[in-house]
């Protein structure tokens, strides 16, 4: 009886460690997105939908004054953040990373690009074209934390 309990405890601990240990990936920031949501409706505020398009494509005309198609990067300052928070009930910041190492949690092979949710701090931390090292959580595989 005691052996069974010990085996169950060890298995539970191993599983917990596995779930809590993130996977590290490396890659290059391909583009950045901001998505604003109100109730059941979401809209892209900016995106880079096509490699031949400008670096920054403002999809919502209300935000044109903050971004220029000639800009090579997007950062959210206090005035943009305040404007976003007044207009939307939730805001998603995303970074698309072309992975140099595979992302087994999201089934992304080396060389492919995958879009991850990030915090506003991580969104502002990286520039398009930066090499990044990220942690992908096993319990929220679509969100990353930028390490460097």
% the chain with pLDDT above 70: 74
Token pair 């880079």: residue? 48
pTM of the model: 0.78
Contacts of 101 (CB under 8 A, 6+ apart): 24, 25, 26, 27, 110
* 64-114 tens-digit pLDDT: 777 766 666 788 889 889 988 998 999 999 999 999 988 888 889 999 999
Domain segments of the chain as ranges: 22-146
* 8-64 tens-digit pLDDT: 877 787 776 666 678 888 999 988 888 889 988 888 877 665 555 555 555 667 777
């Amino acid at each position: 009886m005691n052996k069974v309990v010990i085996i169950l405890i060890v298995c539970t601990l191993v599983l917990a460690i596995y779930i809590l240990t993130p996977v590290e990936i490396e890659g290059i920031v391909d583009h950045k997105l901001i998505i604003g949501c109100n109730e059941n409706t979401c809209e892209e505020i900016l995106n880079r939908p096509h490699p031949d398009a400008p670096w920054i494509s403002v999809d919502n005309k209300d935000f044109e004054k903050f971004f220029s198609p000639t800009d090579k990067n997007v950062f959210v300052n206090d005035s943009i953040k305040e404007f976003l928070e007044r207009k939307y009930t939730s805001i998603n910041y995303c970074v698309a990373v072309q992975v140099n190492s595979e992302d087994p949690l999201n089934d992304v092979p080396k060389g492919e690009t995958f879009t991850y949710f990030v915090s506003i701090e991580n969104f502002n931390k990286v520039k398009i074209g930066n090499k990044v090292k990220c942690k992908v959580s096993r319990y929220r595989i679509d969100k990353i934390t930028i390490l460097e």
